[in-house]
Amino acid sequence: MSKVLLKVSGVSKSFGHVQALKDVNFELNEGEVLGLVGDNGAGKSTFIKILSGVHRKDKGEIIFDGDTVDFSSPSESIEAGFETVYQDLALAPDLPIYSNMFLGREMLRKGILGKLGFVDKDGMRKSVEKNIKKLKATLNHVDQEVGTLSGGQRQSVAITRAVIWGKKVIIMDEPTAALGVEESAKVLEIVKELKQHGITVIFISHTMPHVLEVSDKICVLRLGFTVANLNAAETTYEEVVEYITGARSQIEG
């Protein structure tokens, strides 16, 4: 039986007089995919920034891997084991795939050359190739410049980078936004591969069919509240949309 990796209870956040989050609650087990959904302004981005260490929560409790956490910076979140793939992907188009995956965290050569700052390009290439193969990502060559890749391939680069560095949880913010049907399908296959390898994922999307396809659980936010925590296998597109729009108003979780 999988253990609870992340438990969120009563998390709230205000910006001056504007309350972005009022009472967020859910539990996520190790190796599960959580679909985090809600309309614009529901609080998804604010909550993800709290988990990523960009914002501090005002109230509530976050228990991660058995410890109560309250990240004060992105580096603290990363150190704990979170990696976030934002919509803008934060990739350098003029650099090759392998360099992007180690951007700012380059692997140094062993011995005196490493101490002098020489980068281990072969080591980085091998690590990237191994993870691309592991995730079955459709990337042709690690020396290819990112600027020459399609939108779906760039998303694959960002996700694979998160896998290389992510220890426990990968957060994906609208990973299929602006992608065509075929490229979206490839990204969803990567999410399924992550689950097969026991990697926990928080999947934020407005596209309900994608959420239902990859998620184990769905947390619905509306106006900053958790209005439903659903088992993805036992719910429907229509039910999720009813919670998002307020047609169902019972607050759960």
Domain count along the chain: 1
Structure tokens at 86: 């934002």
Residue 50 lies in a domain: yes
What gap in Å lies between CA 10 and CA 25, rounded to an integer?
6
Residue 49 lies in a domain: yes
pLDDT at residue 165, rounded to an integer? 86
Residue 226 lies in a domain: yes
Tens-digit pLDDT string for the chain (253 aa): 678 999 999 999 999 999 999 999 999 999 999 999 999 999 999 999 999 999 999 999 999 999 999 999 999 999 999 999 888 778 999 999 999 999 888 889 899 888 888 899 999 999 999 988 888 888 889 999 999 998 889 988 988 888 888 779 999 999 988 788 988 998 899 999 999 888 999 999 999 999 999 999 999 999 999 999 999 999 999 999 999 999 986 554 4
Residue 99 lies in a domain: no
pLDDT at residue 180, rounded to an integer? 86
Residue 128 lies in a domain: no
pLDDT at residue 137, rounded to an integer? 85
In 3D, which of 212, 215, 210, 213 has the Cα closest to residue 240?
A: 212
Residue 139's H or E segment, with its range, is: none
pLDDT at residue 250, rounded to an integer? 58
Residue 71 lies in a domain: yes
pLDDT at residue 69, rounded to an integer? 96
Report the 10 Å Cβ neighbour count for 248: 16
b (16+ CB within 10 A) / e for 72-96? eeeeebbebbbbbbbeebebeeeeb
Residue 131 lies in a domain: no
Sequence-distant (6+) residues with CB within 8 A of 51 are 62, 71, 77, 82, 84, 169, 171, 202
pLDDT at residue 252, rounded to an integer? 47
Question: Is the Cβ–Cβ distance between 69 and 62 less than 8 Å?
Answer: yes
pLDDT at residue 121, rounded to an integer? 94
Domain residue limits at 192: 4-81+167-245
Residue 153 lies in a domain: no
Residue 229's beta-bridge partner residues? 219
Question: Is the Cβ–Cβ distance between 166 and 82 less than 8 Å?
Answer: yes
pLDDT at residue 145, rounded to an integer? 95
In 3D, which of 101, 52, 48 has the Cα closest to residue 76?
A: 52
pLDDT at residue 253, rounded to an integer? 41
CATH of the domain at 203: 3.40.50.300
In 3D, which of 40, 29, 35, 22 has the Cα closest to residue 3?
A: 29
